[in-house]
Chain A
Amino acid sequence: MRSLVVFGALIVLVWLSSVALLYAIDSLIVAVVRESWARTVLGLTVFAFWAFGWYVAIIALSRKLISSWASRADERN
């Protein structure tokens, strides 16, 4: 059941951050910058930073979980 807690919490965090991201894009970019390619690029850049942040966090978490599992498996052997 530990995995449910870990990944359930991760899913909730991804959801909360995605709602916050949309709110930030709408209130800081869409409401302020006129409709244009510049606004599109700005919005995509913010989204790319959000996605990159999650990419780094999830890859770091994955490596930590796998190395911890590998060391436990080594101890058992």
Chain B
Amino acid sequence: MNCCEHLVVLAFSAILAYVITPRVAEAMSALNHVRPDVHKPGRPLVPYSGGIAIYASMIPALLAAALFDTSLAAQFCVLAAVASIAFAVGLVDDFKVLGGRTKTLLTLLTVLPLVIAHITLPSQVQLGRPLVPLLGRLRLTIIYWLLLPLVAAGPANVVNMLDVFNGVMPATSLAATVALVVSAYLIEPKGALLLLPLLGALAGYLPYNKWPARVLNGDSGSLMVGAYIGAVAALLHLEFIAAVALIPHILNGALVIVSVGGFKEHRQMKERPILVREDFKLIASSSQTAPISLVRLILAVEGPLEERQVAARLIALGMVSSILAVVSALLTPR
């Protein structure tokens, strides 16, 4: 492991994201590709599809990382392909709204690069036998392959479903990515390099998306980030650790899917889980038939809160689960 190379990749992607994001925001404004920020007074129009900036800073950093460590070239290619598929699905959805079910089905395509690489380059891209605390490598010989289609599509969709307030998606994903980087350094230090392009891109992008957001992520951002986290986890056998880091996302996704009876776009929902008061504080809907989400439950416990207060609580929960993910890595036999 060469720390200098790791720092260069991290800094490269962070600087790229920091420089590219305002340009992308300007370009989206020029294209009139904007969305109302519905939780703010006057519902200001904010440039959409900030995921373009994350993608545009992550892919060059992936190439730079592949040049530093050619032994990981196959993994970098897989990650670039997974990120590109999820980004493409998200971008189509940003410009031309796809149905909830269609979008979910399309994200299942992200498993293809993983499977193809595993079949064609079995010595370089190994899947299966995830690492778990106390036990080490699990002997999941059949179940793993049955669940494999969800390995990138699952995180992609749950990260997308919690992308509800300014800063929440990049901040919670950053916490999860930091947890995975620490876990990789503890378990397989060489593999940490695979996560650094995403870590840098999210760190450089976050200042523009944090409250009050100057750019919104769009599905192009959230689907891609989630799919990338899932794909890296599969490549490094850190599936369990990634799932722990994403517990708030999984909890929210499960609540929404169960309460609305399947995969539905938020535009298709008849009732909203939360309401915006005249003073722009958010309150939980008291309707028995409104969808249940993690945000609605937070507001039910605490009462009316401002948008950034809710975002802070979601980010704090992301940090709790990321700490547990690192504890899981510490408890994993090597």
A61 shortest CB reach to chain B, Å: 8
**In the complex, given contacts A11-B247, A59-B292, what are 13 additional A-B residue pairs having Cβ atoms less than 8 angstroms apart?**
A2-B301, A8-B317, A11-B317, A11-B324, A14-B247, A15-B324, A22-B138, A35-B142, A62-B255, A66-B284, A66-B296, A69-B301, A72-B303
Scan residues 240-266 of chain B and give those whose CB is less than 8 A from a CB of chain A.
240, 243-244, 247-248, 251, 254-255, 258
Query: Are B143 and A69 interface neighbours, CB within 8 A?
Result: no
- Whether A30 and B139, one on each chain, are in contact in the complex, defined by CB atoms closer than 8 angstroms, is yes
B316 touches A66 (CB 8 A): no
**A69 near B284: Cβ-Cβ < 8 Å:** yes
How far apart are A58's CB and chain B's nearest CB, in angstroms?
7
Closest to B243 in A: A18
Assess whether B132 is interfacial by the CB under 8 Å rule: yes
Residues of B within 8 A of A6 (CB): 301
Chain B: minimal CB distance from A62 (Å)? 5
- With contacts A58-B251, A70-B286 taken as known, whether A40 is within 8 angstroms of B143 at the C-beta atoms is yes
- A-B pairs with beta carbons under 8 Å apart, 13 shown: A3-B302, A8-B317, A11-B321, A12-B320, A14-B247, A15-B247, A15-B321, A23-B135, A35-B141, A43-B140, A65-B297, A66-B288, A66-B300
A10 and B272 CA atoms in complex are apart in Å by 24
**Is the Cβ of B142 less than 8 Å from the Cβ of A37?**
yes
CA distance A68 to B240 in the complex (A): 34
- Does B116 touch A at the CB level, under 8 Å? no
- Contacts A2-B302, A4-B316 given: A66-B251 contact, CB under 8 Å? no
CB pair A69 B258 closer than 8 Å: no
From 135 to 157 in chain B, residues with beta carbon under 8 angstroms from any chain A beta carbon are 135, 138-143, 146
* B-to-A contact residues, CB < 8 Å: 132-135, 138-143, 146, 240, 243-244, 247-248, 251, 254-255, 258, 283-284, 286, 288, 292, 294, 296-303, 313, 316-317, 320-321, 324, 328, 331
B-side contacts of A8, CB under 8 Å: 316-317, 320
For A4, give its contact among B134, B143, B254, B313 (CB under 8 Å).
B313
Tell me the number of A-to-B contacts counted with CB atoms below 8 Å.
102
Contact A19-B300, Cβ < 8 Å, known A4-B313, A44-B143, A58-B255? no
A32 proximal to B (CB < 8 A): no
Given contacts A40-B143, A44-B143, A68-B300, whether A62 and B133 have CB atoms under 8 Å apart is no
How close is B1's CB to chain A, nearest CB, in angstroms? 28
Q: Are B292 and A66 in contact (CB under 8 A)?
A: yes
Query: Which 7 residue pairs spanning A and B have beta carbons closest together?
Result: A70-B286, A69-B300, A40-B142, A3-B298, A3-B301, A65-B300, A15-B324
**Which residues of the partner chain B approach A2 to less than 8 Å between Cβ atoms?**
301-302
Asked if A7 contacts B300 (CB within 8 A), the reply is no
A55 touches B251 (CB 8 A): no
A11, A55, A73: which has the most chain B beta carbons within 10 Å? A11
Given known contacts A4-B316, A40-B142, A73 and B135 CB-to-CB distance under 8 angstroms: no
Task: Please name all residues of chain A whose beta carbon is closer than 8 Å to the beta carbon of B300 when the two chains form the complex.
Answer: 65-66, 68-69
Specify the chain B residue showing the minimal Cβ separation from A47: B143
**Chain A residues positioned under 8 Å from B301 (CB to CB):** 2-3, 6, 65, 69
Report whether A23 and B328 are in contact in the complex, using a CB–CB cutoff of 8 Å. no
Given the known A-B contacts A2-B302, A15-B328, A35-B141, are A58 and B254 also in contact in the complex, defined by CB atoms under 8 Å?
yes
For the complex, what is the distance from the CA of A21 to the CA of B181, rounded to whole Å? 25
A59:B138 contact, CB within 8 angstroms = no
